[in-house]
C-alpha cells in the first residue's frame, strides 16, 4: 500500500505521479483547445510534437530519480494527453481528493486509477457541483491557498477550473487548516490575461520563501497579502514576461533542490544565490500547452 501525506509544497518529496507523453493522438483542433496558449500554438502551427514532449518529460524524470524520488506513471490511454497529472487530484495531509476536471479530460482519470487503488486511504470523490483542479491547490502547513474565479461569467470560461462552491466544501471537510481563496485572471482567448491555475502565478518553495507573479492575480490586495505573509526579501517577484513564461511553475524536491526551466535565468540565479541546487530542464515544448513541472506532477508523499 502507498502511504500518502502532503503538508506543504517543499518538504522532501518521496513519491510522485509523473505524467506521460505517449500516444497523444492527433494535435487538437482550435475548437478542442482548453486554454489560449494552446490555441495560439495550434493557430500558428507551432503546437509541439510527441517525440519532443516525450524527450522533455524523460529529462524531468531523470532529475527526479537522481534524487531518489519514487516516480509512478499513469497507465497509457491511446489518443489521450496524459502529461498534466497535477489536475487529476490533490493530497491534503493524508486525504486524497479526486478532482472534478473539465469534461473533455475525464479519460485521464482512468490512467491513474490503478495507483489510487493502492493508496492506504480511500479516495474522496468531490461532489459534482464542485469544480476543482489540483493546480489550483497550494498546501502550506496550516494554510491552503486555492486559486478561484468568482465573476458571473464563470460558466462561459473553459479556463475557470475552480469555483467558490469548492471553497465552502473544503472549509467544512478540512477544519485544521485555514482555506484562503485567491482570485486569478481568466480568459479563453488572451494569453496575457489568463492564469490557468494558481501554480502558474504563485508557489511556496520553502517555509518562508515563495515565487509570485503579480500579473497573474486578479486582485492587487491578494498580492499584497502574500508579500506581507512571506516578507519581500523572501519572495521572487516575477516580471510580466516571466509571468507569461510560467516562472512559478517549478517543482520543489526539497528546500535545497528545485527543478526549474533552463530558460528561467533570473529565477535560477536568485535560487542559487540562496544556496539551492537548481536542476535545470528544458521544458519549452511542454510550456506551449500551458504547464510546466508542477503541472506534470502529482505528489503523493513528502517527508513529515
- CB distance 281 to 251 below 8 Å: no
Q: Check whether 48 has a pLDDT greater than 90.
A: no
**95-106 pLDDT, tens per residue?**
999 988 777 788
- CB distance 159 to 291 below 8 Å: no
Distance CA 293, CA 277 (A): 16
Query: What backbone phi and psi angles, to 5 degrees, belong to 215?
Result: -70, -10
Q: Check whether 119 has a pLDDT greater than 90.
A: yes
Mean pLDDT of the chain: 89
Q: What is the pTM of this model?
A: 0.92
Length, in residues, of the chain: 304
Domains of the chain in start order, with CATH, are: 13-302 (3.75.10.10)
pLDDT of residue 188: 60
Distance CA 196, CA 216 (A): 9
Residue 26: other Cβ atoms inside 10 A: 7
More confident residue, 203 or 32: 203
Q: Check whether 64 has a pLDDT greater than 60.
A: yes
Amino acid at each position: 500500500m502507498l502511504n500518502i501525506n502532503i503538508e506543504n509544497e517543499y518538504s522532501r518529496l518521496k513519491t510522485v505521479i509523473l505524467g506521460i507523453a505517449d500516444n497523444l493522438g492527433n494535435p487538437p483542433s482550435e475548437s478542442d483547445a482548453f486554454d489560449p496558449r494552446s490555441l495560439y500554438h495550434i493557430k500558428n502551427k507551432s503546437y509541439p510534437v510527441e517525440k519532443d514532449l516525450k524527450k522533455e518529460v524523460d529529462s524531468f524524470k531523470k532529475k527526479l530519480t537522481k534524487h531518489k524520488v519514487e516516480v509512478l506513471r499513469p497507465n497509457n490511454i491511446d489518443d489521450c494527453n496524459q502529461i498534466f497529472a497535477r489536475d487529476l487530484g490533490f493530497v491534503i495531509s493524508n486525504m486524497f481528493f479526486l478532482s472534478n476536471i473539465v469534461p473533455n479530460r475525464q479519460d485521464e482519470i482512468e490512467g491513474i486509477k490503478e495507483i489510487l487503488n493502492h493508496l492506504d486511504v480511500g479516495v474522496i470523490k468531490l461532489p459534482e457541483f464542485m469544480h476543482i483542479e489540483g493546480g489550483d491547490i497550494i498546501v502550506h502547513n496550516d494554510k491552503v491557498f486555492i486559486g478561484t474565479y468568482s465573476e458571473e461569467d464563470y460558466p462561459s470560461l473553459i479556463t475557470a477550473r475552480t469555483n467558490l462552491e469548492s471553497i465552502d466544501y473544503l472549509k467544512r471537510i478540512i477544519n485544521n487548516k485555514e482555506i484562503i481563496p485567491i482570485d486569478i485572471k481568466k480568459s479563453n482567448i488572451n494569453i496575457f490575461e489568463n492564469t490557468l491555475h494558481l501554480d502558474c502565478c504563485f508557489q511556496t518553495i520553502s517555509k518562508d520563501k515563495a515565487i509570485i507573479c503579480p500579473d497573474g492575480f486578479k486582485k492587487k490586495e491578494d498580492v499584497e497579502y502574500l508579500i506581507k505573509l512571506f516578507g519581500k526579501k523572501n519572495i521572487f517577484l516575477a516580471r510580466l514576461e516571466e509571468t507569461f513564461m510560467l516562472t512559478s511553475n517549478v517543482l520543489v524536491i526539497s528546500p535545497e533542490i528545485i527543478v526549474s526551466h533552463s530558460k528561467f535565468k533570473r529565477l535560477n540565479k536568485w535560487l542559487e544565490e540562496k544556496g539551492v541546487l537548481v536542476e535545470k530542464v528544458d521544458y519549452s515544448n511542454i510550456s506551449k500547452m500551458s504547464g510546466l513541472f508542477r503541472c506534470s506532477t502529482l505528489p503523493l508523499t513528502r517527508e513529515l
